[in-house]
DNA sequence: ACACTGCCCTGCGAGC
DNA sequence: TGCTCGCAGGGCAGTG
Protein backbone atom coordinates (compact mmCIF):
# COMPACT_ATOMS: atom_id res chain seq x y z
CA UNK A 1 0.00 0.00 0.00
CA UNK A 2 1.62 3.20 -1.01
CA UNK A 3 2.22 5.39 2.03
CA UNK A 4 4.49 8.38 2.45
CA UNK A 5 7.77 6.59 1.56
CA UNK A 6 6.28 4.93 -1.51
CA UNK A 7 4.69 8.11 -2.82
CA UNK A 8 7.94 9.98 -2.20
CA UNK A 9 9.81 7.27 -4.10
CA UNK A 10 7.43 7.59 -7.04
CA UNK A 11 7.81 11.36 -6.96
CA UNK A 12 11.59 11.16 -7.15
CA UNK A 13 11.51 8.61 -9.93
CA UNK A 14 9.23 10.86 -11.97
CA UNK A 15 11.24 14.08 -11.66
CA UNK A 16 13.62 13.46 -14.55
CA UNK A 17 10.91 12.03 -16.73
CA UNK A 18 8.11 14.55 -16.65
CA UNK A 19 9.20 17.91 -15.21
CA UNK A 20 9.37 20.36 -18.11
CA UNK A 21 7.31 18.16 -20.43
CA UNK A 22 4.19 19.48 -22.11
CA UNK A 23 0.94 17.55 -22.08
CA UNK A 24 -0.29 16.65 -25.53
CA UNK A 25 -3.38 14.69 -24.66
CA UNK A 26 -5.16 12.63 -22.10
CA UNK A 27 -6.38 9.15 -22.93
CA UNK A 28 -8.90 7.26 -20.85
CA UNK A 29 -8.51 3.50 -20.99
CA UNK A 30 -11.56 1.82 -19.52
CA UNK A 31 -12.61 3.46 -16.29
CA UNK A 32 -13.92 7.04 -16.48
CA UNK A 33 -14.28 7.10 -12.69
CA UNK A 34 -10.51 7.44 -12.37
CA UNK A 35 -11.08 11.16 -13.04
CA UNK A 36 -13.68 11.41 -10.29
CA UNK A 37 -16.80 13.22 -11.43
CA UNK A 38 -15.02 15.12 -14.20
CA UNK A 39 -15.47 14.24 -17.85
CA UNK A 40 -12.39 13.27 -19.80
CA UNK A 41 -13.01 15.90 -22.50
CA UNK A 42 -13.20 18.64 -19.91
CA UNK A 43 -10.02 17.59 -18.15
CA UNK A 44 -8.27 17.15 -21.47
CA UNK A 45 -9.27 20.66 -22.56
CA UNK A 46 -7.88 22.12 -19.35
CA UNK A 47 -4.51 20.34 -19.31
CA UNK A 48 -3.71 20.16 -23.01
CA UNK A 49 -0.62 22.19 -23.88
CA UNK A 50 0.27 22.79 -20.24
CA UNK A 51 3.81 22.24 -19.04
CA UNK A 52 4.74 20.29 -15.90
CA UNK A 53 6.30 22.85 -13.56
CA UNK A 54 7.14 20.61 -10.63
CA UNK A 55 6.10 17.51 -8.69
CA UNK A 56 5.37 17.67 -5.01
CA UNK A 57 4.14 15.24 -2.40
CA UNK A 58 1.71 16.06 0.37
CA UNK A 59 0.87 13.20 2.73
CA UNK A 60 0.06 10.32 0.35
CA UNK A 61 -0.92 12.63 -2.49
CA UNK A 62 1.29 13.22 -5.50
CA UNK A 63 0.86 16.74 -6.85
CA UNK A 64 1.85 17.58 -10.40
CA UNK A 65 1.88 21.36 -10.69
CA UNK A 66 1.25 22.76 -14.15
CA UNK A 67 2.42 26.08 -15.54
CA UNK A 68 -1.02 27.66 -15.19
CA UNK A 69 -1.07 27.16 -11.40
CA UNK A 70 -3.44 24.23 -11.58
CA UNK A 71 -2.45 20.81 -10.28
CA UNK A 72 -2.98 17.21 -11.19
CA UNK A 73 -3.68 15.46 -7.90
CA UNK A 74 -2.98 11.74 -7.83
CA UNK A 75 -3.80 9.28 -5.07
CA UNK A 76 -2.58 5.73 -5.61
CA UNK A 77 -4.73 4.30 -2.82
CA UNK A 78 -4.04 0.57 -2.61
CA UNK A 79 -2.83 -0.63 -5.97
CA UNK A 80 -2.25 2.46 -8.10
CA UNK A 81 0.97 2.67 -10.10
CA UNK A 82 2.56 5.27 -12.31
CA UNK A 83 4.95 4.55 -15.11
CA UNK A 84 6.48 6.38 -18.01
CA UNK A 85 6.55 4.34 -21.20
CA UNK A 86 6.91 5.02 -24.93
CA UNK A 87 3.77 6.30 -26.55
CA UNK A 88 3.35 3.20 -28.72
CA UNK A 89 3.58 0.78 -25.79
CA UNK A 90 0.32 -1.21 -25.56
CA UNK A 91 -1.88 -0.61 -22.53
CA UNK A 92 -0.38 -1.94 -19.32
CA UNK A 93 -2.21 -4.41 -17.14
CA UNK A 94 -4.99 -2.54 -15.29
CA UNK A 95 -4.18 0.68 -17.08
CA UNK A 96 -6.84 3.34 -16.49
CA UNK A 97 -5.38 6.53 -17.90
CA UNK A 98 -2.54 7.78 -20.07
CA UNK A 99 -1.19 11.32 -20.19
CA UNK A 100 0.62 11.82 -23.45
CA UNK A 101 3.74 13.97 -23.20
CA UNK A 102 5.62 15.94 -25.84
CA UNK A 103 8.70 13.72 -25.89
CA UNK A 104 7.10 10.55 -27.21
CA UNK A 105 6.42 9.11 -23.79
CA UNK A 106 3.23 8.64 -21.78
CA UNK A 107 2.64 8.90 -18.08
CA UNK A 108 0.44 5.85 -17.45
CA UNK A 109 -1.74 5.28 -14.43
CA UNK A 110 -2.71 1.70 -13.72
CA UNK A 111 -4.71 0.40 -10.81
CA UNK A 112 -5.96 -3.11 -10.24
CA UNK A 113 -8.72 -2.13 -7.84
CA UNK A 114 -10.32 1.07 -9.02
CA UNK A 115 -9.66 3.03 -5.85
CA UNK A 116 -6.98 5.41 -7.11
CA UNK A 117 -7.80 8.82 -8.58
CA UNK A 118 -6.22 11.31 -10.96
CA UNK A 119 -7.90 14.68 -10.49
CA UNK A 120 -7.26 18.06 -12.02
CA UNK A 121 -7.64 20.67 -9.31
CA UNK A 122 -7.92 24.42 -9.18
CA UNK A 123 -6.45 26.52 -6.38
CA UNK A 124 -9.43 26.42 -4.03
CA UNK A 125 -9.77 22.65 -4.19
CA UNK A 126 -6.09 22.30 -3.43
CA UNK A 127 -6.42 24.66 -0.50
CA UNK A 128 -9.26 22.56 0.88
CA UNK A 129 -7.18 19.42 0.54
CA UNK A 130 -4.30 21.12 2.32
CA UNK A 131 -6.63 22.19 5.10
CA UNK A 132 -7.89 18.64 5.64
CA UNK A 133 -4.42 17.17 6.00
CA UNK A 134 -2.35 17.11 9.15
CA UNK A 135 1.36 17.69 9.60
CA UNK A 136 4.09 16.11 7.54
CA UNK A 137 5.85 13.64 9.86
CA UNK A 138 9.30 14.26 8.38
CA UNK A 139 9.07 18.05 8.62
CA UNK A 140 10.46 19.89 11.67
CA UNK A 141 6.98 21.16 12.61
CA UNK A 142 6.13 17.58 13.55
CA UNK A 143 7.73 17.72 16.99
CA UNK A 144 7.33 15.44 19.99
CA UNK A 145 5.86 18.32 21.97
CA UNK A 146 3.26 19.01 19.30
CA UNK A 147 2.38 15.31 19.05
CA UNK A 148 1.96 15.01 22.80
CA UNK A 149 -0.30 18.02 22.94
CA UNK A 150 -2.49 16.59 20.17
CA UNK A 151 -2.59 13.05 21.54
CA UNK A 152 -3.78 14.31 24.91
CA UNK A 153 -7.02 15.37 23.22
CA UNK A 154 -7.61 12.00 21.59
CA UNK A 155 -9.30 9.22 23.55
CA UNK A 156 -9.24 6.80 20.61
CA UNK A 157 -6.88 3.90 20.08
CA UNK A 158 -3.36 5.08 19.28
CA UNK A 159 -3.18 3.16 16.03
CA UNK A 160 -6.42 4.66 14.71
CA UNK A 161 -5.28 8.13 15.77
CA UNK A 162 -1.93 7.77 14.00
CA UNK A 163 -3.76 6.68 10.85
CA UNK A 164 -5.88 9.84 10.93
CA UNK A 165 -4.62 11.86 7.95
CA UNK A 166 -6.04 15.00 9.52
CA UNK A 167 -3.50 14.67 12.32
CA UNK A 168 -0.44 13.24 10.58
CA UNK A 169 -0.35 13.08 6.80
CA UNK A 170 1.20 10.06 5.17
CA UNK A 171 1.19 7.27 7.73
CA UNK A 172 -0.61 4.10 6.69
CA UNK A 173 -1.06 0.61 7.99
CA UNK A 174 2.45 -0.67 7.37
CA UNK A 175 4.40 2.13 9.00
CA UNK A 176 2.02 2.58 11.92
CA UNK A 177 2.44 -1.08 12.87
CA UNK A 178 6.21 -0.79 12.48
CA UNK A 179 6.38 2.44 14.46
CA UNK A 180 4.29 1.16 17.37
CA UNK A 181 6.40 -1.98 17.51
CA UNK A 182 9.61 0.01 17.69
CA UNK A 183 8.13 2.26 20.34
CA UNK A 184 6.86 -0.72 22.36
CA UNK A 185 3.30 0.61 22.44
CA UNK A 186 0.21 -1.60 22.15
CA UNK A 187 -1.91 -0.49 19.14
CA UNK A 188 -5.04 -0.35 21.31
CA UNK A 189 -3.62 1.95 23.94
CA UNK A 190 -5.77 5.04 24.29
CA UNK A 191 -3.81 7.90 22.78
CA UNK A 192 -4.47 10.23 25.70
CA UNK A 193 -3.00 7.76 28.19
CA UNK A 194 0.51 7.78 26.73
CA UNK A 195 3.18 9.21 29.02
CA UNK A 196 5.56 11.90 27.80
CA UNK A 197 8.27 9.29 27.46
CA UNK A 198 6.02 7.02 25.42
CA UNK A 199 5.03 9.85 23.10
CA UNK A 200 8.74 10.62 22.62
CA UNK A 201 9.31 6.99 21.65
CA UNK A 202 6.39 6.98 19.21
CA UNK A 203 7.55 10.24 17.68
CA UNK A 204 11.10 8.98 17.32
CA UNK A 205 9.94 5.64 15.90
CA UNK A 206 7.72 7.27 13.28
CA UNK A 207 10.54 9.44 12.03
CA UNK A 208 13.16 6.68 12.08
CA UNK A 209 10.92 4.20 10.30
CA UNK A 210 9.81 6.68 7.64
CA UNK A 211 13.31 7.98 6.99
CA UNK A 212 14.68 4.47 6.62
CA UNK A 213 11.81 3.50 4.33
CA UNK A 214 12.34 6.55 2.11
CA UNK A 215 16.04 5.71 1.95
CA UNK A 216 15.12 2.15 1.00
CA UNK A 217 12.73 3.39 -1.68
CA UNK A 218 9.67 2.05 0.05
CA UNK A 219 8.15 -1.31 0.75
CA UNK A 220 6.97 -3.60 -1.98
CA UNK A 221 4.03 -5.44 -0.53
CA UNK A 222 1.87 -7.09 -3.17
CA UNK A 223 3.17 -5.04 -6.06
CA UNK A 224 4.40 -1.53 -5.38
CA UNK A 225 7.00 -0.18 -7.81
CA UNK A 226 8.37 3.22 -8.74
CA UNK A 227 7.94 4.74 -12.19
CA UNK A 228 10.75 2.59 -13.56
CA UNK A 229 9.26 -0.59 -12.17
CA UNK A 230 11.83 -0.95 -9.40
CA UNK A 231 10.53 -2.64 -6.26
CA UNK A 232 11.15 -1.06 -2.86
CA UNK A 233 13.96 -2.40 -0.73
CA UNK A 234 12.44 -1.74 2.68
CA UNK A 235 10.23 -4.83 2.72
CA UNK A 236 12.98 -7.00 4.13
CA UNK A 237 13.32 -4.64 7.07
CA UNK A 238 9.73 -4.91 8.22
CA UNK A 239 9.62 -6.38 11.71
CA UNK A 240 5.96 -7.08 12.36
CA UNK A 241 3.75 -5.92 9.49
CA UNK A 242 1.80 -8.79 7.97
CA UNK A 243 3.34 -11.31 10.35
CA UNK A 244 0.71 -11.43 13.08
CA UNK A 245 -0.40 -15.01 13.71
CA UNK A 246 2.38 -16.27 11.46
CA UNK A 247 5.78 -15.78 12.98
CA UNK A 248 7.78 -14.98 16.09
CA UNK A 249 8.71 -11.52 17.34
CA UNK A 250 12.12 -10.63 15.89
CA UNK A 251 13.15 -9.19 19.27
CA UNK A 252 11.80 -11.54 21.96
CA UNK A 253 10.61 -14.57 20.01
CA UNK A 254 7.05 -14.50 21.34
CA UNK A 255 4.38 -15.30 18.74
CA UNK A 256 3.20 -12.13 16.98
CA UNK A 257 -0.53 -11.51 17.25
CA UNK A 258 -3.02 -10.32 14.69
CA UNK A 259 -6.03 -8.20 15.66
CA UNK A 260 -8.22 -5.64 13.90
CA UNK A 261 -7.92 -2.01 14.97
CA UNK A 262 -9.80 0.74 13.20
CA UNK A 263 -10.86 -1.76 10.59
CA UNK A 264 -7.24 -2.52 9.71
CA UNK A 265 -5.35 -5.75 10.11
CA UNK A 266 -2.84 -5.16 12.88
CA UNK A 267 0.26 -7.10 13.84
CA UNK A 268 2.06 -6.63 17.12
CA UNK A 269 4.08 -8.41 19.78
CA UNK A 270 2.06 -8.91 22.97
CA UNK A 271 5.25 -9.12 25.04
CA UNK A 272 7.13 -6.12 23.60
CA UNK A 273 3.92 -4.07 23.32
CA UNK A 274 1.92 -4.86 26.46
CA UNK A 275 -1.39 -3.15 27.08
C1' DA B 1 -15.09 17.39 17.25
C1' DC B 2 -14.35 12.93 17.66
C1' DA B 3 -15.08 7.66 17.34
C1' DC B 4 -16.66 4.07 14.85
C1' DT B 5 -18.68 1.27 10.86
C1' DG B 6 -19.47 0.09 6.24
C1' DC B 7 -18.54 0.80 1.53
C1' DC B 8 -15.89 0.76 -2.69
C1' DC B 9 -13.15 -2.87 -5.82
C1' DT B 10 -10.99 -7.25 -7.64
C1' DG B 11 -6.89 -10.50 -7.89
C1' DC B 12 -5.17 -13.76 -5.15
C1' DG B 13 -4.50 -17.57 -1.97
C1' DA B 14 -6.50 -20.83 1.18
C1' DG B 15 -9.54 -24.46 1.66
C1' DC B 16 -12.43 -28.08 0.09
C1' DT C 1 -7.97 -29.54 -10.93
C1' DG C 2 -11.46 -26.26 -10.35
C1' DC C 3 -14.45 -23.98 -7.65
C1' DT C 4 -15.95 -20.68 -3.80
C1' DC C 5 -14.99 -17.42 -0.48
C1' DG C 6 -12.71 -14.23 2.37
C1' DC C 7 -9.00 -11.03 2.59
C1' DA C 8 -6.26 -6.79 1.53
C1' DG C 9 -7.21 -1.26 3.20
C1' DG C 10 -7.24 4.58 2.21
C1' DG C 11 -10.49 7.76 2.20
C1' DC C 12 -14.99 9.10 2.73
C1' DA C 13 -19.98 9.18 3.98
C1' DG C 14 -23.08 8.26 7.42
C1' DT C 15 -24.26 7.53 12.23
C1' DG C 16 -23.81 8.19 17.16
Between CA A264 and CA A135 the distance in angstroms is 22
CATH assignment at residue A84: 3.20.190.10
- A58 and A10, same structural domain? yes
Give the number of domains in chain A. 2
A273 located within any domain: no
Domain presence at residue A108: yes
Q: Residue A230's domain spans which residues?
A: 144-268
Q: Cβ of A170: how many Cβ atoms within 10 Å?
A: 25
Q: What is the pLDDT of residues A7-39, one digit of tens each?
A: 999 999 999 999 999 999 999 988 999 999 889
Strand B closer than 7 Å to the CB of A115?
yes
Question: From CA A140, how far away is CA A151, in angstroms rounded?
Answer: 18
Q: Are residues A244 and A180 in the same domain?
A: yes
Confirm whether A255 is domain-assigned.
yes
H or E stretch covering A63 = strand A61-66
Residues near A213 by Cβ (< 8 Å), separated by ≥ 6? Answer: A4, A5, A175, A219, A232, A234, A237
A119 and A28 within one domain: yes
Whether A115 sits with its Cβ under 7 A from any strand C atom: the answer reads yes
Q: Is the pLDDT of residue A103 over 80?
A: yes
Supply the pLDDT for residue A45.
95
Query: Looking at the predicted structure, is the pLDDT value of residue A234 above 90?
Result: no
Q: Report if residue A251 sits inside a domain.
A: yes
- Determine the pLDDT at residue A83: 94
pTM of the model: 0.94
Task: Give the closest nucleotide to A241 (alpha carbon vs C1').
Answer: C8
* Residue at the smallest CA–C1' distance to nucleotide B6: A263
Specify the CATH number for the domain of residue A179. Answer: 1.10.8.50
Same domain, A177 and A257: yes
Percent of chain A that is helix, strand, coil (3-state, to 5): 30, 25, 45
pLDDT in tens, A183-223: 999 999 999 999 999 999 999 999 999 999 999 988 766 55
Amino acid sequence: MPELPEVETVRRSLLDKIVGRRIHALRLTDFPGVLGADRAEDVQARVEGRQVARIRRRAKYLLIDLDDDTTIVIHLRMTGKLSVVPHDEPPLRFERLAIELDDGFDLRFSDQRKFGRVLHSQDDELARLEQRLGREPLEPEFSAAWLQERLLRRPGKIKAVLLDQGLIGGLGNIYVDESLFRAGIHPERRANTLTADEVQRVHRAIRDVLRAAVAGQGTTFSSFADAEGNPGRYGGRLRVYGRGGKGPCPVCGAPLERIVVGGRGTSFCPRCQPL
